[in-house]
Amino acid sequence: MHAAATEIALRTAETALLKAQQRGDRDAVAALLAADFEEIGSSGRHYDRASVLDAIGSAKIGSAQLEDFEIIDFRLRQLAKDLVLVHFRTRLRRGDSVLRSARSSLWRREDGLWRMAFHQGTPCAQGIA
């Protein structure tokens, strides 16, 4: 896959994942996560695929429902033919709060489809993201 096409596909996937979380769409999130998915949340806590899916639509991960988001400074680094590291920043709105994060995701192509294998979000100070 050409680098530009990979970037479009993975930006689309990251956006779809955030939209699915916003809607509380467990099936859509499940379709984007690899079976061995792991996440280190902004609190430093570790989550696996099952715990992320169980939290969809609840307050188990994050303090309030995601209302809106913006992805900025999106870039990727091809690590292997079917393995890409993505870096970007987000601005998430939850209630009256705007949360800024630096994020990294590891995407692996499985049977022609991109699946997220790992994700980490790090909170940023107000002026950074």
pLDDT digits (tens, 9 = 90+) for 44-58: 899 999 999 998 866
Residue 75 has pLDDT above 90, yes or no: yes
Closest CA to 77 of 105, 101, 100: 105
Name the more confident of 93 and 54.
Answer: 54
Q: Distance between CA 13 and CA 75 in Å, rounded?
A: 13
Place of tokens 């107000």: 126
Q: What are the φ and ψ backbone dihedral angles of 121, each rounded to 5 degrees?
A: -120, 135
AA identity, residue 88:
F
Q: Distance between CA 105 and CA 55 in Å, rounded?
A: 19
- Summarised one tens digit per residue, pLDDT across range 15-65 is 999 888 888 899 999 999 999 999 998 888 999 999 999 988 665 554 456
CB 61 within 8 A of CB 26: no
Q: What is the pTM (predicted TM-score) of this model?
A: 0.87
Residue 90 has pLDDT above 50, yes or no: yes
